[in-house]
Structure 1
Amino acid sequence: MKKIGIITINDYNNYGNRLQNYATQEVLRYLGFSVETIINHSVNSIPYDYIEKESLLKKVKKIKNKSIQQIFQKIRSIKLQKKRMDEFKKFTLNFINESEYVVSNDNVPSSLNNEFDFFISGSDQIWNPVYGHGTPIDFLMFADEEKRIAYAPSFGISEIPSEYEPSFKIGLSKMSKLSVREKSGAEIIKKLTGRDADVLIDPTMMLTAEKWLSVSQPASCKSQGKYLLTYFLGDLPKQNKVRIQKIAKIYSLEIISLLDINCEKAFTAGPGEFIDLINSASIVCTDSFHGVVFSLLLGIPFIVFEREGKEPSMGSRIQTLLAIFDMRNRTIQNITDDHNIMRIDFSKVKAVLENEREKTIRYLSTALND
């Protein structure tokens, strides 16, 4: 059996990251390959456990001159963040086949290239230079060129800063097969290399709702009654908060907010609980790409909000997704009547998914058989 090594972002704090890693693995297994995710510290090349301890020490130093109340709040925050990461690590250990070794830009085993028949770069924002990605490892430059396959990676931004263009041009030019997750990514590749890249759906959308529910876990923070779920990676301005509260009141829904550190059970919910929370929600309000993805897969009404805050705009990914599924009307700007907000037509989703899944299978079959 041929063996594939996945190079992605190993983020034990992000739902989309862990779930796309699992989905990529399962798609490749479906095609008949043995699959291993190579732990990649190309951005932060120190072991997971050390990162945990080091960040803890730094945080403790910062609270030295704080009040007793502030100190207790900070200690609680550190404990909850540790508990949250443990839940993500647990999901990874249970469902993702990770390597026992770590690679970084200055530490790639000389035997690595010969241990695998192919390497996959993707998915997630593994080519986002704003976060320090798009390194030689992220472009698989340690491997023979014919082994380098891009599977729906994302740049996360619509334009590469000029200082990164030379290295990105080299990395992209030497990939054997190229695909991306959004149209803006294909445009970046065309501009830098002149090559065409297939635009594929995110790996998470390759798995059925039934498959996802099989790895879900009952969420301990889930309400007994009906609820509105919020999942925001950016800031939540007051006007958006007021709008969400209004919607919840109209439909008599409790509000459950993922990532709300004031609610321990919600903040520490693992990836399996994330799936369960979306599946059981009456409606999802989100600025997250994967918040939209799982709402679509599980047939849950959703509203897309613009990402707010310092993080660069992630709108291109979500806009591509909404366009593919003819769901442009689900942005908050396009919703004018909150009393009809639950009316959403999922009838086209199944047919679109089937078509997009077939496109992905064709791409991977060609790339990996070559």
Structure 2
Amino acid sequence: MQTVVIRNGCIMKKIGIITLNGYFNYGNRLQNYALQEVLKSLGFQVETILVDTTNQSENTSPIPMRNRIFFKNRKKKDMELSEVLYKIITILWNQIHKKEIVKSRMQRIKRLKAFSNKYIKETKFCISSENIPENLAHCYDYFVAGSDQVWNPDYIHNSSIYFLTFAPGKKRIAYSPSFGISHIPTEYSEAYKLWLSEMASLSVREEAGADIIRNLTGREAEVLIDPTLLLTKENWLLISKEPVYKPKRCYLLTYFLGEQTLDRKKKIKEIARANSLIVVNLADMKDPKRYSADPGEFIGYIQSSSVIFTDSFHGCVFAILFEKPFVVFDRIGTGTSMNSRIDTLLGTFRLQTRKWEVLRKDEIFQLDYSQTAPILENERNKAINYLKGTLS
């Protein structure tokens, strides 16, 4: 039965968020929290509806996919002998330390769950394609799908839940979701065309997503910033934590979700050494104490770093929010289309020169953020106006 909440004499309308559930990624948890807080600030009662992901690919294996696939997306003949040996050593290390990896990953999941329990209001029930409560559509005034890669066919396996098909069309709203890819596979195109056509309001996180929607449905979708960018630096500091294992000296922070090459690691170490910095690898299984940091500590590591090297969308987002110099690498091992989100982000804030292949090495620590504030304010206004308009 729907709970009625009254504030200042008015009955609060209720929103259910549908996003990727799971406790495996900082960006996932932080975008969920941010969207919740933004919707609450607009006067709504908000909760995240848990989706049963038992049969979905959220990479729950204790060993990262990039270490289970040997030369994915890379040809052996194109690799230096040193790179081949490095790959072999990495795989052997993962096999030898399998138990420690499992323990570290479980510790990380535990801490991300604790963050969700503290900061995100989640339903006590789960839904799935086979199990949708009959009265679900009547328990909420609106449903919002997003942000994250909720429309990535590799993640949702053609599930219509993430397109809110269990609710009347007028209640279906998309806030800045990502497809994660540049083209929808042919076998999914008809279903995606139907589901997207039935959405009351459409927006996406990257230009490639807007192109997909235009090509499938003929509709125009607004490209809006990720919800993490809708909260201010001060908002994030409220939930930030001093990292337990933060070094006492200044440090260079790396946050890579894709594969690492030996050459890339060598160059980063050279830059750190030349600038008297310690290298802190935040997503490296070989550093289990930092690998299992919680989302609050993730923010803390970003805030205190001297420079950030990353292939992560949210690594870039928080570098921008805290006005830190950062360097972006293309992600290895998951396909180049994964980089479209970062390309849109950098283009929006006129930071395309922060990509490794075009960045002058003498400008790594030099980044003028004076132009960012007005752009961010404009993008925030555009996003809030979209939400106000669709939720009116």
- 1:195 aligned to 2:219? yes
Residues in 1 aligned to 2:369 and 2:360: alpha-carbon distance in whole angstroms: 20
After superposition, what is the alpha-carbon deviation per residue over 1:211-243, rounded to whole angstroms, capped at 9, x for unaligned? 001101111121111000000000111121111
* Superposition deviation, residue 70 in structure 1: 8.3
CA contact (8 A) 1:307 1:315 kept: yes
The residue correspondences of 1:1-370 to structure 2 (distance < 5 A) are 1-42=12-53, 44=55, 73-311=97-335, 313-337=337-361, 339-369=362-392
Shift of 1:113: 0.4
Following superposition, the deviation at residue 135 of structure 1 comes to 1.6
Return the alpha-carbon distance in structure 2 between the equivalents of residues 43 and 201 of structure 1: 30
Offset at residue 260 of structure 1 (A): 1.4
User: Partner amino acid for 1:34?
Assistant: Q
Q: Secondary structure at the match of 2:266?
A: helix
Identity %: 48
Q: What's the offset of the Cα at 1:112? A: 0.5
Q: Distance in 1 between matches of 2:95 and 2:365?
A: 43
Q: Distance in 2 between matches of 1:263 and 1:237?
A: 17
CA deviation after TM superposition for structure 1 residue 43, in Å: 6.1
For structure 1, which runs of at least 5 residues remain unmatched after alignment?
Answer: 57-68
Can you list the C-alpha shifts for 1:7-33, whole angstroms capped at 9, x where unaligned? 000120101000000000001001000
Instruction: Mark the CA change 1:5 to 1:133 in structure 2 (over 3 Å): closer, same or farther.
Output: farther
Contact 1:227 1:256 (C-alpha < 8 Å) held by counterparts:
yes
| Matched-pair contact (CA < 8 Å) for 2:56–2:156 | no
Distance 1:239 1:173, change over 3 A: same
Inter-partner Cα distance in structure 1 for 2:22 and 2:274: 37
Q: Quick one: distance in 1 between partners of 2:119 and 2:256?
A: 25
Shift in CA distance, 217/133, structure 1 to aligned 2, threshold 3 Å? farther
Backbone CA RMSD of aligned residues: 2.0
- Alpha-carbon contact 2:56-2:155 (below 8 Å) kept: no
Cα deviation digits, residues 7-64 of structure 1 (max 9, x gap): 0001201010000000000010010000000001256379x9xx98xx68xxxxxxxx
- Give the secondary structure class of the aligned counterpart of 2:219: coil
The offset of 1:341, in angstroms, is: 1.4
- Write the distance in 2 (CA, Å) between the matches of 1:79 and 1:340: 40
- The answer (yes or no) to whether the contact 1:43–1:133 under 8 Å persists in 2 is no
SS in 1 for 2:160: coil
Q: Distance in 2 between matches of 1:346 and 1:312?
A: 28
Q: CA deviation at 1:265?
A: 1.5
CA contact (8 A) 1:234 1:311 kept: no
Letter in 2 for 1:8: T
Kept in 2, the 8 Å contact 1:42–1:103? The answer is: no
Assess, with a 3 A threshold, how the Cα gap between structure 1 residues 42 and 264 changes in structure 2: closer, same or farther.
closer
Residues 45 and 194 (structure 1), Cα distance of their counterparts in 2 relative to 1, 3 Å cut = closer
Whole-angstrom CA distance in 2 between matches of 1:130 and 1:243 = 33
3-state SS of the aligned residue for 1:149?
strand
- Label 1:279 to 1:133 Cα distance change in 2 as closer, same or farther (>3 A): farther
Q: Secondary structure of 1:313's match?
A: helix
Any conservation in 2 of the 1:42–1:137 contact (CA below 8 Å)?
no
Q: Deviations over 1:148-194 (max 9, x none)?
A: 00000000111111111000001100000000001110110010000
Calculate the TM-score normalised by the size of structure 1: 0.91
Q: SS at the partner of 2:342?
A: helix
Instruction: Give, in whole Å, the separation in 2 of the partners of 1:258 and 1:133.
Output: 30
Aligned partner letter, 2:115: F
Distance 1:75 1:239 in 2: 28
Structure 1 residues 102-111 or 129-138, which shifts more? Answer: 129-138
Deviations 1:285-342 (A, max 9, x none): 00000000000001111000010114553111001000000000000001232x3311
Which residue number corresponds to residue 60 of structure 1?
none
Q: Name the SS of the counterpart of 1:10 in structure 2.
A: coil
SS of the residue corresponding to residue 228 of structure 1 reads strand
Aligned partners of 2:146 and 2:24: how far apart in 1?
Answer: 18
